[in-house]
Amino acid sequence: MPSKYQEYRQMADTAERQLTSSYKSWTQFLRTAARLYKYPYNEQVMIHAQRPDATACAEYDFWNKKMGRFVRRGSTGIALIDTSGQKPQLRYVFDVADTGEREHSRPVHLWQFRAEHEDAIAATLERSYGVSGSNGIVEQMESAAAQLVKEYWVDNKRDILYNIDDSYLDGYDEFNAEVQFRNAAK
């Protein structure tokens, strides 16, 4: 009988293969990853595999001690594989939806785009990426993202092309793999 670690290691391997198996799977993963941007890729994969709708995850003690919230009885933790020690082990996080407020709980602030910040965001995008906001913030964000994807492709093309077996990019030549890769980020 496999250990819990082995079960979750297998889950991670399966999830990685599945999320790169199709354009739809990959873009669904990217939606989860966008909400959980502070987590490294391997942990984003594990969270997506177990709770694709998760919005803000943290360990039990963080919710209890730092946020003054409680983790609801019966909530199932999201297992993450911790390889920071000598031996891999599991650690668990809980989504904000698994928590409840106490009288003196700190509010949970989930990032949201607010109209009153649009000018500051547009100025930062123009300064950081050289993309104009003259056609609106949405087009400006898309241009910045396209630029980042292009840079990422240039920097990581060899690794991506080496690892595309059994992914939705499998079977494409280099040019078309790049086109599909860029389209997936839109």
Question: Residue 186: pLDDT above 70?
Answer: no
Distance CA 122, CA 143 (A): 12
- Pair 55, 104 in one domain: yes
Question: Between the CA of residue 17 and those of 13, 68, 184, what are the distances in Å?
Answer: 6, 38, 16
Q: Which domain holds residue 141?
A: 113-186
Residue 40 and residue 53 share a domain = yes
What's the total number of domains in the chain?
Answer: 2
| Distances in whole angstroms, Cα of residue 104 to Cα of each of 18, 59, 66, 79, 170 | 42, 19, 11, 28, 53
Instruction: Give yes or no for a contact between 78 and 52, defined as CB atoms under 8 angstroms apart.
Output: no
Q: What is the pLDDT of residues 145-159, one digit of tens each?
A: 889 888 988 888 888
Residue 97: both structure tokens together: 């939806």
18-53 pLDDT, tens digit each: 988 888 898 899 899 999 989 999 999 999 999 999
* Residue 81 and residue 157 in one domain: no
Residues 143 and 87 grouped into a single domain = no
My answer on whether 26 and 67 are in the same domain is yes
Residues 106, 33 within the same domain: yes
Helix boundaries (H) for 36-117: 41-50, 60-61
| pTM to 2 decimal places | 0.76
102 & 140 share domain: no
Claim to verify: residue 127 and residue 70 sit in the same structural domain: no
How does pLDDT run across 97-126, given as a tens digit for each residue?
Answer: 999 999 999 999 988 888 999 999 999 999
- For residue 89, the cross-strand partners are 82
Q: Which of 110, 129, 163 is the last residue of a domain?
A: 110
Does residue 172 have a pLDDT over 70? Answer: yes
Q: Are residues 19 and 105 in the same domain?
A: yes
Last residue of a domain, one of 62, 86, 110: 110
Q: Are 156 and 65 within one domain?
A: no
| The pLDDT of residue 139 | 92
Q: Are residues 77 and 153 in the same domain?
A: no
* Pairwise CA distance, residues 15 & 25, whole Å: 10
Are 96 and 183 members of one domain? no
Q: What is the largest CA-CA distance in the chain?
A: 61
Position 162 confidence tier, pLDDT thresholds 50, 70, 90: confident
- Which of 110, 139, 159 corresponds to the end of one domain? 110
